[in-house]
Amino acid sequence: MKVRFTKMHGAGNDYIYVNTMNYPVDEPGKWAVEWSRFHTGIGSDGLVLIGSSEKGDFSMRIFNADGSEAKMCGNASRCIGKYVYEAGLTAKRDIALDTLSGIRRLHLDVDADNRVNRVTVDMGVPSDIHPLTLGCEAPAHTGIAVSMGNPHLVLFVDRVMEIDLAAVGPRLEHHPHFPDRVNVEFAQVIDARHIRMRVWERGSGVTQACGTGACATAAAAIASGLCERKVEVEMDGGTLQLDWDASTGHILMTGPATKVFDGEIDWNV
Protein backbone atom coordinates (compact mmCIF):
# COMPACT_ATOMS: atom_id res chain seq x y z
CA MET A 1 0.00 0.00 0.00
CA LYS A 2 1.21 3.49 -0.80
CA VAL A 3 0.51 6.47 1.42
CA ARG A 4 0.15 9.91 -0.18
CA PHE A 5 1.79 12.72 1.75
CA THR A 6 2.60 16.39 1.41
CA LYS A 7 5.88 17.92 2.51
CA MET A 8 5.39 21.42 3.94
CA HIS A 9 7.32 23.86 6.05
CA GLY A 10 6.59 26.87 8.19
CA ALA A 11 9.65 29.14 8.40
CA GLY A 12 11.84 26.13 7.63
CA ASN A 13 10.25 23.84 10.25
CA ASP A 14 9.40 20.96 7.90
CA TYR A 15 6.98 18.10 8.42
CA ILE A 16 5.35 15.27 6.50
CA TYR A 17 1.56 15.78 6.35
CA VAL A 18 -0.87 12.89 5.88
CA ASN A 19 -4.63 13.24 5.53
CA THR A 20 -5.78 10.37 7.76
CA MET A 21 -9.34 10.76 6.50
CA ASN A 22 -8.00 9.11 3.34
CA TYR A 23 -4.98 7.25 4.73
CA PRO A 24 -5.41 6.06 8.34
CA VAL A 25 -1.97 5.69 9.93
CA ASP A 26 -1.44 2.97 12.52
CA GLU A 27 1.62 3.23 14.79
CA PRO A 28 2.31 6.86 13.83
CA GLY A 29 5.31 7.09 16.16
CA LYS A 30 7.01 4.29 14.27
CA TRP A 31 6.38 5.88 10.88
CA ALA A 32 7.48 9.28 12.14
CA VAL A 33 10.90 7.77 12.84
CA GLU A 34 11.08 5.87 9.55
CA TRP A 35 9.80 8.61 7.26
CA SER A 36 11.66 11.47 8.95
CA ARG A 37 15.09 9.99 8.23
CA PHE A 38 16.90 12.08 5.66
CA HIS A 39 18.90 9.37 3.92
CA THR A 40 16.46 6.44 3.93
CA GLY A 41 13.07 8.15 4.31
CA ILE A 42 11.47 11.42 3.23
CA GLY A 43 13.40 13.62 5.63
CA SER A 44 11.64 15.98 8.06
CA ASP A 45 11.31 17.23 11.62
CA GLY A 46 8.41 14.83 12.12
CA LEU A 47 5.00 13.58 11.02
CA VAL A 48 1.71 15.52 11.19
CA LEU A 49 -1.65 13.76 10.93
CA ILE A 50 -4.69 15.72 9.72
CA GLY A 51 -8.01 14.26 10.76
CA SER A 52 -11.67 14.97 11.42
CA SER A 53 -12.88 16.33 14.74
CA GLU A 54 -16.12 16.54 16.70
CA LYS A 55 -14.79 19.62 18.54
CA GLY A 56 -13.37 21.61 15.62
CA ASP A 57 -13.18 21.70 11.86
CA PHE A 58 -10.11 19.43 11.74
CA SER A 59 -7.74 17.74 14.16
CA MET A 60 -3.96 17.67 14.35
CA ARG A 61 -1.63 15.09 15.85
CA ILE A 62 2.09 15.65 15.64
CA PHE A 63 4.92 13.18 16.13
CA ASN A 64 8.54 14.26 16.44
CA ALA A 65 11.36 12.68 14.48
CA ASP A 66 12.13 10.41 17.44
CA GLY A 67 8.55 9.09 17.49
CA SER A 68 7.38 10.98 20.59
CA GLU A 69 4.06 12.79 20.37
CA ALA A 70 3.90 16.57 20.85
CA LYS A 71 0.85 18.43 22.08
CA MET A 72 1.13 21.48 19.87
CA CYS A 73 3.10 22.98 16.98
CA GLY A 74 2.50 26.50 15.73
CA ASN A 75 4.29 26.05 12.40
CA ALA A 76 2.38 22.84 11.68
CA SER A 77 -0.91 24.57 12.55
CA ARG A 78 -0.31 27.21 9.90
CA CYS A 79 0.58 24.56 7.32
CA ILE A 80 -2.59 22.61 8.08
CA GLY A 81 -4.61 25.77 7.41
CA LYS A 82 -2.98 26.06 3.99
CA TYR A 83 -3.37 22.32 3.30
CA VAL A 84 -7.09 21.99 4.04
CA TYR A 85 -8.02 25.19 2.18
CA GLU A 86 -6.00 24.59 -0.96
CA ALA A 87 -7.00 20.90 -1.08
CA GLY A 88 -10.65 21.97 -1.12
CA LEU A 89 -11.43 20.32 2.21
CA THR A 90 -12.95 23.59 3.42
CA ALA A 91 -13.90 27.00 2.06
CA LYS A 92 -13.55 28.60 5.49
CA ARG A 93 -10.90 31.22 6.10
CA ASP A 94 -11.34 30.94 9.86
CA ILE A 95 -10.72 27.40 11.07
CA ALA A 96 -10.96 25.70 14.46
CA LEU A 97 -8.12 23.18 14.81
CA ASP A 98 -8.44 20.50 17.49
CA THR A 99 -5.05 19.79 19.13
CA LEU A 100 -3.90 18.00 22.28
CA SER A 101 -3.46 21.50 23.76
CA GLY A 102 -7.04 22.44 22.97
CA ILE A 103 -8.72 24.29 20.10
CA ARG A 104 -6.46 26.65 18.15
CA ARG A 105 -8.13 29.16 15.83
CA LEU A 106 -6.55 29.90 12.46
CA HIS A 107 -7.15 32.88 10.19
CA LEU A 108 -6.04 32.37 6.59
CA ASP A 109 -4.63 35.20 4.47
CA VAL A 110 -5.79 34.23 0.98
CA ASP A 111 -4.39 36.04 -2.08
CA ALA A 112 -5.99 36.87 -5.43
CA ASP A 113 -5.00 33.44 -6.80
CA ASN A 114 -6.85 31.74 -3.92
CA ARG A 115 -3.57 30.66 -2.35
CA VAL A 116 -2.77 30.78 1.36
CA ASN A 117 0.56 32.47 1.98
CA ARG A 118 0.25 33.53 5.60
CA VAL A 119 -1.75 32.28 8.55
CA THR A 120 -2.48 33.83 11.94
CA VAL A 121 -2.91 31.38 14.82
CA ASP A 122 -4.39 32.20 18.19
CA MET A 123 -1.83 30.36 20.30
CA GLY A 124 -3.68 30.84 23.57
CA VAL A 125 -2.39 32.20 26.87
CA PRO A 126 1.21 31.55 27.92
CA SER A 127 1.33 30.24 31.46
CA ASP A 128 3.61 29.18 34.30
CA ILE A 129 6.21 31.83 33.42
CA HIS A 130 8.97 31.75 36.02
CA PRO A 131 12.76 32.01 36.32
CA LEU A 132 14.76 28.83 36.65
CA THR A 133 18.33 28.32 37.88
CA LEU A 134 20.19 26.13 35.39
CA GLY A 135 23.72 25.62 36.69
CA CYS A 136 27.16 26.26 35.31
CA GLU A 137 26.84 24.01 32.23
CA ALA A 138 24.33 26.35 30.56
CA PRO A 139 25.30 29.43 28.50
CA ALA A 140 23.26 31.49 31.00
CA HIS A 141 22.95 30.65 34.67
CA THR A 142 19.21 31.31 34.68
CA GLY A 143 16.46 30.71 32.17
CA ILE A 144 12.74 31.38 32.00
CA ALA A 145 10.27 28.52 31.88
CA VAL A 146 7.11 29.08 29.82
CA SER A 147 4.21 26.79 28.92
CA MET A 148 2.54 27.21 25.54
CA GLY A 149 0.58 23.99 25.96
CA ASN A 150 4.00 22.34 25.72
CA PRO A 151 7.04 23.11 27.89
CA HIS A 152 9.72 25.66 26.94
CA LEU A 153 12.92 26.94 28.48
CA VAL A 154 14.11 30.33 27.20
CA LEU A 155 17.70 31.52 27.71
CA PHE A 156 18.65 35.10 26.86
CA VAL A 157 22.24 35.38 25.63
CA ASP A 158 24.46 38.12 24.21
CA ARG A 159 25.56 36.30 21.03
CA VAL A 160 23.04 33.69 19.98
CA MET A 161 24.93 32.64 16.84
CA GLU A 162 27.85 31.46 18.97
CA ILE A 163 25.75 28.89 20.86
CA ASP A 164 26.64 25.26 20.07
CA LEU A 165 23.07 23.93 19.93
CA ALA A 166 24.08 20.31 19.41
CA ALA A 167 26.27 20.37 22.52
CA VAL A 168 24.12 22.39 24.91
CA GLY A 169 20.61 21.53 23.70
CA PRO A 170 20.48 17.86 24.74
CA ARG A 171 21.64 18.63 28.28
CA LEU A 172 18.98 21.27 28.81
CA GLU A 173 16.26 19.19 27.11
CA HIS A 174 16.73 16.70 29.95
CA HIS A 175 16.90 19.30 32.76
CA PRO A 176 15.53 17.70 35.96
CA HIS A 177 12.92 20.45 36.31
CA PHE A 178 11.16 18.98 33.25
CA PRO A 179 10.46 15.25 33.73
CA ASP A 180 8.91 15.01 30.24
CA ARG A 181 11.82 16.95 28.67
CA VAL A 182 11.62 20.50 27.32
CA ASN A 183 12.04 22.60 24.17
CA VAL A 184 14.98 24.97 24.53
CA GLU A 185 15.19 28.45 22.97
CA PHE A 186 18.30 30.63 22.92
CA ALA A 187 17.40 34.26 22.29
CA GLN A 188 19.21 37.54 21.71
CA VAL A 189 17.17 40.73 22.06
CA ILE A 190 18.16 43.01 19.18
CA ASP A 191 15.77 45.80 20.17
CA ALA A 192 12.31 46.20 21.68
CA ARG A 193 10.61 44.91 18.50
CA HIS A 194 13.11 42.30 17.31
CA ILE A 195 14.49 39.05 18.79
CA ARG A 196 16.93 36.63 17.16
CA MET A 197 16.23 33.07 18.31
CA ARG A 198 17.59 29.57 17.75
CA VAL A 199 15.99 26.38 18.97
CA TRP A 200 16.66 22.85 20.17
CA GLU A 201 13.32 21.02 19.92
CA ARG A 202 12.36 18.23 22.23
CA GLY A 203 12.37 15.02 20.23
CA SER A 204 13.70 16.58 17.01
CA GLY A 205 16.95 18.37 17.89
CA VAL A 206 18.11 21.43 15.95
CA THR A 207 15.31 22.78 13.77
CA GLN A 208 14.99 25.86 11.58
CA ALA A 209 12.08 27.30 13.55
CA CYS A 210 9.59 26.59 16.32
CA GLY A 211 6.25 28.40 16.49
CA THR A 212 5.45 27.65 20.13
CA GLY A 213 9.09 28.42 20.91
CA ALA A 214 8.81 31.83 19.27
CA CYS A 215 5.70 32.52 21.35
CA ALA A 216 7.42 31.36 24.53
CA THR A 217 10.44 33.54 23.75
CA ALA A 218 8.26 36.58 23.10
CA ALA A 219 6.32 35.98 26.31
CA ALA A 220 9.53 35.62 28.34
CA ALA A 221 10.99 38.80 26.83
CA ILE A 222 7.81 40.83 27.33
CA ALA A 223 7.30 39.56 30.88
CA SER A 224 10.90 40.52 31.65
CA GLY A 225 10.43 44.03 30.27
CA LEU A 226 12.84 43.46 27.38
CA CYS A 227 10.40 43.90 24.49
CA GLU A 228 7.12 45.47 23.48
CA ARG A 229 3.96 43.41 23.16
CA LYS A 230 4.30 43.28 19.36
CA VAL A 231 7.63 41.74 18.37
CA GLU A 232 9.28 39.90 15.49
CA VAL A 233 11.11 36.68 16.28
CA GLU A 234 13.72 35.86 13.65
CA MET A 235 14.83 32.22 13.47
CA ASP A 236 17.20 30.31 11.21
CA GLY A 237 14.37 29.48 8.78
CA GLY A 238 12.32 32.66 8.84
CA THR A 239 10.55 35.30 10.90
CA LEU A 240 7.26 35.24 12.78
CA GLN A 241 5.21 38.18 14.03
CA LEU A 242 3.95 37.85 17.61
CA ASP A 243 1.29 40.00 19.26
CA TRP A 244 0.60 39.38 22.96
CA ASP A 245 -2.85 40.94 23.31
CA ALA A 246 -3.10 42.76 26.64
CA SER A 247 -6.92 42.55 26.77
CA THR A 248 -7.26 38.79 26.24
CA GLY A 249 -3.83 37.50 27.30
CA HIS A 250 -3.65 35.49 24.07
CA ILE A 251 -0.63 35.45 21.76
CA LEU A 252 -1.40 35.80 18.06
CA MET A 253 1.26 34.34 15.80
CA THR A 254 1.46 35.25 12.11
CA GLY A 255 3.80 33.66 9.62
CA PRO A 256 4.24 31.83 6.32
CA ALA A 257 3.14 28.35 5.28
CA THR A 258 4.83 26.73 2.29
CA LYS A 259 4.09 23.58 0.32
CA VAL A 260 7.24 21.84 -0.91
CA PHE A 261 5.92 18.80 -2.81
CA ASP A 262 3.42 15.92 -2.86
CA GLY A 263 4.56 12.31 -2.94
CA GLU A 264 3.88 8.68 -2.19
CA ILE A 265 5.75 6.29 0.06
CA ASP A 266 5.37 2.54 0.53
CA TRP A 267 3.62 1.63 3.75
CA ASN A 268 6.14 -1.15 4.44
CA VAL A 269 9.45 0.68 4.47
Q: Which residues are known to be catalytic?
A: 73, 210
Query: Angle at which helices 211-223 and 74-86 pack, to 10 degrees?
Result: 130
Q: In whole angstroms, what is the distance from residue 255 CA to residue 179 CA? A: 31
